[in-house]
């Protein structure tokens, strides 16, 4: 515990007051420096920017997944219509075997 306290004193450049009622009292907690506060603010801004980018990427992925599903449905409908109109009457099941049915899940 003493080595941890000594490390904190070195890091914050302060020492605990000897007359404080207990080690965790507000009087004994060192105040962060201006530079440390600036670093925390910069870190908070970076975290917020990354969260915003992740939300935007997630929204784009969801739109892409919906568009892909719509495209697959259109392709199936086109195959169905063309199979009905074909003179050789190719079975729809054989034509649609090449169409992927699973849409990849959207990971949050």
The predicted-structure confidence for 46-73, as pLDDT tens digits, reads as follows 999 999 999 999 999 999 999 999 999 9
In a domain, 65, yes or no: no
Q: What is the pLDDT of residue 84?
A: 87
Q: What is the pLDDT of residue 54?
A: 98
Q: What is the pLDDT of residue 39?
A: 93
- Residue 41 predicted with pLDDT over 80: yes
Q: How many CA atoms lie within 13 A of 8 on its CB side?
A: 14
**DSSP string spanning 24-41?**
TSGGGSPPPPHHHHHHHH
Q: How far apart are CA 32 and CA 25, in angstroms?
A: 16
In a domain, 16, yes or no: yes
In a domain, 15, yes or no: yes
- Closest to 106 measured CA to CA, from 68, 73, 72: 68
In a domain, 22, yes or no: yes
Number of alpha helices (DSSP H) and beta strands (DSSP E) in the chain: 3, 0
Contact of 30 with 14, CB cutoff 8 Å = yes
In a domain, 2, yes or no: yes
In a domain, 24, yes or no: yes
- Residue 16 predicted with pLDDT over 80: no
Domain that residue 18 falls in? 1-31
Q: Domain count of the chain?
A: 1
Q: Please tell me the pTM assigned to this model.
A: 0.46
């Amino acid at each position: 515990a003493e080595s941890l306290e000594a490390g904190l004193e070195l890091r914050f450049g302060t020492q605990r007051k000897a007359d404080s009622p207990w080690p965790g009292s507000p009087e004994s907690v060192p105040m962060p420096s201006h530079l440390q506060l600036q670093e925390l603010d910069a870190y908070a801004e970076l975290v917020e920017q990354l969260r915003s980018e992740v939300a935007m990427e997630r929204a784009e992925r969801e739109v892409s997944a919906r568009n892909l599903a719509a495209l697959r449905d259109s392709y199936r409908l086109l195959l169905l219509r063309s199979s009905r109109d074909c003179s050789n009457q190719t079975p729809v099941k054989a034509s649609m075997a090449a169409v992927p049915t699973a849409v990849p899940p959207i990971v949050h």
